Structure 1
Amino acid sequence: MEWFVEGDYWWSRLVFQRVLAAVYLVAFLTAARQFRALIGERGMLPAGAHIRDTSWRDAPSLFRLRFSDRLFALCAWTGVALSAALVAGAADRLPLAVAMAWWAVLWALYLSIVNVGQTWYGFGWESLLLETGFLAVFLGNEQTGPPVLILFLLRWVLFRVEFGAGLIKLRGDRCWRDLTCLYYHHETQPMPGPLSWYFHRLPRPLHRVEVAANHLAQLLLPFLLFTPQPLATIAALAMAATQLWLLLSGNFAWLNWLTIALALIAVDGSLITGPPAPLPDSPLWYEITVVAVAALLVVLSYRPARNLLSRRQQMNRSYDPFHLVNAYGAFGTVGRVRHELVVEGTADTELAHGTLWREYGFRGKPTDPRRLPRQFAPYHLRLDWMLWFAALSPVYARSWFGPLVERLLAGDRDTLRLLGHNPFPDEPPAYVRARLYRYRFTTRQERRATGAWWQRDFVREYLRPTRLG
């Protein structure tokens, strides 16, 4: 049927699929390298216990059939291999049904991981990857034109990501309305990047321009996605540009890359590459499947759409256990002060005034004031992110911080692999403690004088010296 496909988005569809496959690859790689310490059989929050305490209806997952570290690793590395093949374009050389099954396997594997991941997988970009990945199953491959209904639903995802984030800001912190939030955000964001210090030191009038541009990108441009071309393409490219700006200013896992992919799917490829070659008709079974799936997702969109209009708007919420249609948003509140946990250990078996305490180093979160923040996104450092939340309130760390300390005291190798520096390479410490510090970026003068990127001041004890037993 001519109404079913849109050939002008053939090129955009292929680019979108490659970027999405790359995001999948990073997501599975993150899971494979970190799961043992986080949710493994001997992890801080073992997935097996979570499976026993929940039902199929609450959290569908293949691991309900059987969970073990070896099986989880097999699934995660299988996801890495399948994603890498999709990046190389393997699905475009296969029959349509096989290509769809390939994308469906990726989605099912990652859904299974997220639904046993507990607090470590409670981030909005997990649901965004699953919702986008589910739609990708029905997007077709090189041998078919992209279905209009799926293209529309992908724009609907992008609309909710951007417009939801814009509304949560306007309804939240006053600094978004008076354009001052970026006086603080680059310094207090969860995971600063190597350019965050420089962004923070931009003139304040430019920070206000940044906020105003953010409001434009999130509150106006999403509506233009549903206008005729080339206006929709211009809006999509402008939204992608704002995401590139965010990529430079901080580490937000794969959120920005996935949003860019969603923006690119709205770009009219014929404006760049010219009209596509004629495409064969889509199989009838495929058209029926796409229409049925689109109808289901339109019905499920009611609650997320209502959430956008609600004065009590929620952000990053899933409305079904399959994460098919979700609510998104970020930074409704911006911190004015940055607090960080500094975890220390000592080899001394008797504590005294002169006890030597040594700091554990983390890969992404600030610890050593002289260390320039690193670029890790789209790779997701789950422990580092949760430590940022733990510094905001102990409530966020209630379930896992104690197990983390126990594993440091035991010298657990899987946990130590998550760290950037282990000050006890030969044997584990006798005691571990945690202290809360206030961090701020140094001024230009302080930076020249000391070489440090951060200035920190002690606030209070977070966890008193603790030992095993």
Structure 2
Amino acid sequence: MTATFLTRSLFLKWLAAIYLVAFLSLYMQIPGLFGANGVLPAQSQLLSHPSVASAWARPTLLWLRGYVGLDTSHAMEAASLLGVVLSLLAVVTEWGRVKVVLGALLVLYGSLVQVGQAFLYYQWDSLLLETGLLAVVLAPWLPSGGRQRPSDSVGLWLVRWLLFRQVFSTGAMKLLSKCPSWWSLTALDVHFQSQCMPTPLAAVAHALPPIVLRLATVFSLAAELGGPFLFFSPVRRLRLAGFYLQVFLQLMVFATGSFGFHSLLVLTLCLSLLDDDWLTGRKPQGGLSGGWLESILSGAVLLSLLAATIGLFQIRLQDGGIATDIGFSPEEFGEFIHFAVPASILLGAASFLLTAADAITTAVLDSAGGCCRRMNSALNTTVTVLVAAAVFTCSLVPYTTLDAPTHRTLPEPLRDVFAETVQPLHVFGSYGLFKQMTGVKGRPEVVLQGATKLDGPWNDIEFRYKPGQLDYMPPFVAPHQPRLDWQMWMAALGDYHANPWLTSLAYRILTGQKEVVSLLDTARYPFTFKPPKYIRGMRYTYTYGAGDQQSWWQRSKTGEEYLPVFSAEHKPLLDYLKQLNVIGLPKETTDNPTLIGLLDAIRATLDQWEARNLVWSVLLALWLVRVVTGRVMGSGL
């Protein structure tokens, strides 16, 4: 059996660090997003009387907030801070990387997602929950003291299967969507400018020659559609090739765009492709690891994949340069998906059975301990295998949505149980980022404007991170995710009727709610002393500027008014917000002044930090601690 103790430990440690980022980033935004005077008060999701039925329909620990004397916002803060503490424990100690702690992290984050509404419905939130579930399966009950466990390989196999689903689904959805930009291989001509929050390097990438961007698009599609099948190869070098492909792709995504903790989470999943020999630099022994046979097999497979990529994307020399086009039709790609989805399930099932059989055999024949230890190891491994089989089976329901005929072949009871019991937990997702390229003719942006008089002047209301002022350099934001900035980008893709939270944001600005205003760029906020009397939203088209630092962007009006003029006394607005349960909610009672006082004191301290800087500082501090103590990856993980 391949050594996996260090791989397991590193995976759980990285996941704990991502939990830390997720909880801390969200904590800094709770009052403005979910407080009683926030954009979408979380209390509105918990108005029914706590009962078994309501808890099952919306499973969250926040139903218990009244029993500890907290209102919803303070309960969310307490859950987030507890998540931060447990995440820190899991990063720095092996006692924190056990089932109980990781299970608590899963429940805490899942509880927040349940009431997060539009601001917590991102794919990486679901991906974090699913990864967290697999971590609970993988983690030991108690610290294993550096011992290899047969069940580790089964848990890491589940992580590898999730990585396969995430990567392959992302690539498949791009072409299944029939987006013209993907099918013409011009998606990256648009992406670096139109993505939600580009970094300064995105402008550099956007200026690359068109053929470079087309070849990069081909690489992206090939790495996501062909690369995942290397994950289950018995040849170690092929698994490592799949690892390097995904690491390079995610590093490029991270460098050019701020997608919260998504890229870091995918990189963490990629650890399942490694083994302890790779982590420690030892030469692998046995099987197909090393030697001329592995070199021949891996070389043949990789050359075949390269040849297939060149042929399918018609990469050729033309007119003294390189040209490329997709050499297959949408119908032919649909036929490929119809074959690939069931084939990948069979491949995954076969790989799982071999992994499970090897783990159980190793547990039974373990010669390192006595009879009792072998029985305990065999029992633990068998239970892990059964749980992993159930998780694998459940994952087929969202995965097969890629191909409707395959989805319909799943047993109807399985689909019904998943829809009624599993889906409300949000622990299994169907993935597919960037399936449609937006902003082909420039990125759409909604610019909120406020005024003290109806006839103006109208002043732009700037956000912290999203494009606004033309001379504002796009910042590096990840792994922090400013969720209001993200929602503003998504709102620009439609109209305000499809984004009812935006009217709530406008009302909170009109009434000067400091919790909400703190989510904006307070350094450039034009209404510091008195809130605006009127607010509106204008739609603009943004494109990169001339390339100098004096003008990062240029913009033009589309001629459309996105959000009509509102005032805080506008009766239709007030009636609408009451229907949305944004205003007029019953006042929550609290009877725990000690805990509330402690939470308020922590809030007052941490609010002095910008959220992005706080997240980076905590991660940097953890890294420095590990360097100082000599516990970096190469010397103890």
Q: What TM-score, normalized to structure 2?
A: 0.67
Displacement of 1:262 = 0.4
Relative to structure 1, the CA distance from residue 395 to residue 294 in structure 2 (aligned partners, 3 Å threshold; closer, same or farther) is farther
Is 1:75–2:79 an aligned residue pair?
yes
3-state SS in 1 of match to 2:537: strand
Displacement of 1:308 = 2.6
Q: Quote the residue 2:540 is aligned against.
A: 437
**What is the CA–CA distance in structure 2 between the aligned matches of 1:14 and 1:225, rounded to whole Å?**
20
Q: Quote the residue 2:329 is aligned against.
A: none
Superposition map of 1:63-462 within 5 A? 63-66=62-65, 68-88=72-92, 90=93, 92-93=94-95, 99-140=98-139, 143=144, 144=147, 145=149, 147-172=152-177, 173-228=179-234, 229-273=236-280, 274=282, 283=377, 286-310=380-404, 320-335=423-438, 336=440, 337-348=442-453, 351-352=454-455, 355-394=456-495, 397-421=498-522, 422-442=525-545, 446-448=546-548, 451-459=550-558, 460-462=560-562
**What is the CA–CA distance in structure 1 between the aligned matches of 2:219 and 2:497, rounded to whole Å?**
32
Displacement of 1:279 = 8.2
Displacement of 1:213 = 0.7
Superposition map of 1:52-71 within 5 A? 52=47, 55-66=54-65, 68-71=72-75
The question of whether the paired residues in 1 share the 8 Å contact of 2:446 and 2:537 is answered with yes
Displacement of 1:303 = 1.0
3-state SS in 2 of match to 1:43: coil
**What is the CA–CA distance in structure 2 between the aligned matches of 1:396 and 1:253, rounded to whole Å?**
26
* Aligned amino acid, residue 450 of structure 2: G
The question of whether the paired residues in 2 share the 8 Å contact of 1:297 and 1:325 is answered with no
Q: Quote the residue 1:465 is aligned against.
A: 565
The question of whether the paired residues in 1 share the 8 Å contact of 2:86 and 2:105 is answered with yes
3-state SS in 1 of match to 2:450: strand
3-state SS in 1 of match to 2:57: coil
The question of whether the paired residues in 2 share the 8 Å contact of 1:30 and 1:379 is answered with yes
**What is the CA–CA distance in structure 2 between the aligned matches of 1:358 and 1:413, rounded to whole Å?**
19
Displacement of 1:397 = 4.9
Displacement of 1:266 = 1.2
Deviations 1:343-394 (A, max 9, x none): 111233xx23xx2222211122100111111111111111011111111112
Query: Over the residues paired in the alignment, what is the CA RMSD in angstroms?
Result: 2.4
The question of whether the paired residues in 1 share the 8 Å contact of 2:496 and 2:563 is answered with no
Q: Quote the residue 2:323 is aligned against.
A: none
* Aligned amino acid, residue 14 of structure 1: S
**What is the CA–CA distance in structure 2 between the aligned matches of 1:12 and 1:320, rounded to whole Å?**
30
Q: Quote the residue 2:293 is aligned against.
A: none
Name which one, 1 or 2, has greater alpha-carbon Rg. Answer: 2
Q: What TM-score, normalized to structure 1?
A: 0.89
**What is the CA–CA distance in structure 2 between the aligned matches of 1:329 and 1:243, rounded to whole Å?**
15
**What is the CA–CA distance in structure 1 between the aligned matches of 2:506 and 2:209, rounded to whole Å?**
41
The question of whether the paired residues in 1 share the 8 Å contact of 2:157 and 2:272 is answered with no
The question of whether the paired residues in 2 share the 8 Å contact of 1:230 and 1:268 is answered with no
Displacement of 1:140 = 2.6
* Aligned amino acid, residue 195 of structure 1: L
**What is the CA–CA distance in structure 1 between the aligned matches of 2:9 and 2:119, rounded to whole Å?**
31
Deviations 1:112-156 (A, max 9, x none): 000111111111000000000111112235624362221111111
More deviation in 6-15 or 358-367?
6-15
The question of whether the paired residues in 2 share the 8 Å contact of 1:239 and 1:263 is answered with yes
**What is the CA–CA distance in structure 2 between the aligned matches of 1:8 and 1:289, rounded to whole Å?**
21
The question of whether the paired residues in 1 share the 8 Å contact of 2:5 and 2:152 is answered with no
Deviations 1:429-453 (A, max 9, x none): 12111111110112xxx234x8201
- What 5-or-longer segments of structure 2 have no aligned partner? 66-70, 285-366, 408-417, 570-637
3-state SS in 2 of match to 1:57: helix
Displacement of 1:312 = 11
The question of whether the paired residues in 1 share the 8 Å contact of 2:4 and 2:153 is answered with no
3-state SS in 1 of match to 2:115: coil
* Aligned amino acid, residue 306 of structure 1: T
Deviations 1:27-80 (A, max 9, x none): 101221111221223322222222236933332111123352222111111111
The question of whether the paired residues in 2 share the 8 Å contact of 1:340 and 1:438 is answered with yes
Displacement of 1:178 = 2.4
Displacement of 1:299 = 2.0
**What is the CA–CA distance in structure 1 between the aligned matches of 2:109 and 2:59, rounded to whole Å?**
11
**What is the CA–CA distance in structure 2 between the aligned matches of 1:236 and 1:429, rounded to whole Å?**
52
More deviation in 251-260 or 358-367?
358-367
**What is the CA–CA distance in structure 2 between the aligned matches of 1:243 and 1:116, rounded to whole Å?**
30
Relative to structure 1, the CA distance from residue 62 to residue 240 in structure 2 (aligned partners, 3 Å threshold; closer, same or farther) is same
Greater helix proportion = 2
The question of whether the paired residues in 2 share the 8 Å contact of 1:439 and 1:454 is answered with yes
**What is the CA–CA distance in structure 2 between the aligned matches of 1:312 and 1:368, rounded to whole Å?**
49
* Aligned amino acid, residue 187 of structure 1: Q
The question of whether the paired residues in 2 share the 8 Å contact of 1:342 and 1:359 is answered with yes
Deviations 1:150-175 (A, max 9, x none): 11111111011110000001112132
**What is the CA–CA distance in structure 2 between the aligned matches of 1:24 and 1:71, rounded to whole Å?**
18
**What is the CA–CA distance in structure 2 between the aligned matches of 1:312 and 1:345, rounded to whole Å?**
52
Displacement of 1:292 = 3.1
Q: Quote the residue 1:3 is aligned against.
A: none
**What is the CA–CA distance in structure 1 between the aligned matches of 2:224 and 2:452, rounded to whole Å?**
52
More deviation in 103-112 or 6-15?
6-15
Relative to structure 1, the CA distance from residue 279 to residue 464 in structure 2 (aligned partners, 3 Å threshold; closer, same or farther) is farther
3-state SS in 1 of match to 2:424: coil
More deviation in 385-394 or 320-329?
320-329
The question of whether the paired residues in 1 share the 8 Å contact of 2:540 and 2:555 is answered with yes
**What is the CA–CA distance in structure 2 between the aligned matches of 1:454 and 1:304, rounded to whole Å?**
40
**What is the CA–CA distance in structure 2 between the aligned matches of 1:60 and 1:396, rounded to whole Å?**
29
Displacement of 1:309 = 2.5
Relative to structure 1, the CA distance from residue 346 to residue 279 in structure 2 (aligned partners, 3 Å threshold; closer, same or farther) is farther
Deviations 1:65-102 (A, max 9, x none): 335222211111111111122122x1x147x8xx2100
The question of whether the paired residues in 2 share the 8 Å contact of 1:345 and 1:431 is answered with yes
Number of aligned positions between the proteins: 447
More deviation in 32-41 or 248-257?
32-41
**What is the CA–CA distance in structure 2 between the aligned matches of 1:406 and 1:46, rounded to whole Å?**
13
**What is the CA–CA distance in structure 2 between the aligned matches of 1:287 and 1:107, rounded to whole Å?**
22
3-state SS in 2 of match to 1:434: strand
The question of whether the paired residues in 2 share the 8 Å contact of 1:240 and 1:264 is answered with no
Displacement of 1:322 = 1.9
